Structure 1
Amino acid sequence: MESLYLLIPIAIVFVIIAVVIFFWAVRSDQFEDLERQGMNILLDEDKPKRDKDDDGA
């Protein structure tokens, strides 16, 4: 029972820290455009590099 007097305030502090980090992430636009990074790999149109030693044969 005495351990609850220690664990409950620690849990409340963790919740407050998590909420602060969440609002910081929202305010700093960390959740903007979540789809773009996932689509970049599908839309990659880079041409392969050719070596200088390659004579094309």
Structure 2
Amino acid sequence: MYKEASEALARSHAALSETHEKLNYSTSHDPATGLLNREAFMVTWLVWAEMKNVTCCS
């Protein structure tokens, strides 16, 4: 009984994780080109710039 419940929970978790990954991708990429959309690009650039101590528009 517990084994079946555990296996069902594991399958459910795997499906949820896959759906989460697809949703994250679709919200950060342009559907026509597959490239990062503007918001995702800016966030990525800002993280990179902060790591490299780059300033913008000084």
Q: TM-score, normalised by structure 2?
A: 0.47
Is the radius of gyration larger for structure 1 or structure 2?
1
TM-score by length of 1: 0.48
Relative to its length, the structure with more helix (as a share) is 2
